[in-house]
Amino acid sequence: MREIIHLIKKDCMLIVRDASNLVMILLLPLLIATIFGAINSASEETNKLAVALVDNDKTPISAAYIERLSQRDDLEIIQSTLEEAQNATRLGDVIAYMILEPDFGARLQQFPFISSPPEIRIVSDPKRKVISGMITGITIPTAMELVQERQDSGTSGMASPSLQPLKITHEDYVVESELPVSAFSITVPQAALWSILACVAIMSTSLATERLQQTILRLKVSPTPMWVILSSKILSCMFTIFISCAILIVYGKIAFQLNIQSFAMLSFAILCSAFCFAGLMLAIGSLGSNPGSVAGAAWSIMVIFAMLGGGMMPQFLMPEWLSALSSISPGKWSILLMEGAIWRNYSIVEALFPAAILIGLGGLGCVAGVRNLNREKFI
């Protein structure tokens, strides 16, 4: 019995004394519990679905309908012109835009004594198609409430509850271009992110192996300056990321006729992402000298970033504080920047913000990694 206790104690000590193990077995589950707990328990705080609304009708009835939609807890209505709505959808600021057609008010007033009900067009971000169904589920009952209210006040005919008061048409938002958006246009940035995460895990493990085998010691003593050694570590990670993304894109072009709005922008997006994740690789790789636990820690941290970045659940399901926190996830900005190049048609100015965040996070990672490596004791 005594032996068993000592064996257990030894294993526990081995786990606790490696910071990278703690990331994997404690930090990751705690964050998962916090994130999912926040999503499941805080329905009142949940992010509203941001939807742009273009009122082409501009009648008191359309205004009353918009007012009613705005009062809902689950929608954030942003009244816009068509151009503004398209732009907000393109940039990913809203998940969709709705267009109330010019005869919306008149038709709704005549409901149900008309052959066809008033029409609302919902044009959604193709990445968030599923959500347009949720918007439909909100818009129709709201219209019904409005109709019933008007009937109660005698301003409308009697409605039959079995009839739909609105006709909803769904469209995917497509950037004005000769190049169609394919399903692969949506999935390629996500696949590229997974490839980047794998590169980070592999390269940080390789750095830990260098520390374990003391080859890093040999590099430090060589006449080659330390900044050259660390820069080459970062560059080799960036190069690996760049090559893996390039292979993915070539595969997309050949197998799925992937269309890319701007190759230059895509290269810029991958470059920024590569720098960001190479910096993180340096920070993670300097966490410990046990390659196995560093690999585990790398994957744990990447999963946390993927979760926060909306890679595992839609961000609108998150409470506001968590949604704000997701801005630290490089995955979110990396995907957005790649989408900007592939189908969102980002301008240089629009790309600068996510690019700056990626470069900033990469810089922080580099500083943390260099500090850890310089602090290292060789006993």
Partner 1 sequence: MSTILNFKNIHKSYDANPAVKGVSFSVDAGKVLGILGRNGAGKTTIVNLLVGLLSSDEGQVELFNSMPPYDQTTRSKIGLAPQRIALYSSLSIMENLTFFATLQGLKGSELEKKVNYASEKMGLETFIHRKVKACSEGMKRRANMAVALLSNAELLLLDEPTAGVDIQSRQHILDVVLDLKNSGKTVLYTTHYIEEADQVCDEVLILHEGRALACASTQDLIAQYGGDSQISYQETEQGQPFVLSSREPAKAVHQLFDSHSSIFNLRVIPPSLQDVLTNLLNGEKLSA
State the residues that interact with partner 1 by CB under 8 A. 213-215, 217-225, 377-379
Taking the least distance from each CB to partner 1, the nearer of 27 and 202 is 202
187-209 per-residue burial string, b: 16 or more CB within 10 A, e: under 16: ebbbbbbebbbbbbbebbbbbbb
Q: Which is nearer to partner 1, 129 or 220 (CB)?
A: 220
Of 137 and 225, nearer to partner 1 (C-beta) is: 225
Nearest CB to partner 1, comparing residues 80 and 372: 372
Q: Which two tokens stand for residue 85?
A: 């709505």
Q: Minimal distance in Å, beta carbon 328 to partner 1?
A: 33
| Nearest distance, CB of residue 274 and partner 1, angstroms | 23
199: Cα separation from own chain's centroid: 19
Tokens of 361: 């996070």
Radius of gyration of the chain (CA): 26
Specify the residue for token string 């219209």.
Answer: 143
List the Cα angle 136/138/144 in 5-degree steps.
Answer: 100
Residue 359's φ and ψ, nearest 5 degrees, are -65, -40
Return d(Cα 265, Cα 338) in angstroms, integer.
8
Judged by beta carbon, residue 4 or residue 221, the one nearer partner 1 is 221
What minimum distance in Å lies between the beta carbon of 223 and partner 1? Answer: 4
State in angstroms the smallest separation of the CB of 355 from partner 1: 33
Q: CB under 8 Å to 303, separation ≥6 — which residues?
A: 28, 312
User: Cα dihedral sign for 20, 25, 31, 36?
Assistant: positive
**Closest by Cα among 149, 374, 139, 338 to 241:** 338
Q: Which is nearer to partner 1, 6 or 218 (CB)?
A: 218
According to DSSP, residue 364 is labeled H
At residue 109, the 3 state secondary structure works out as helix
Q: In terms of CB distance, is 169 or 215 closer to partner 1?
A: 215
CA 64 – CA 60 distance, rounded (Å): 6
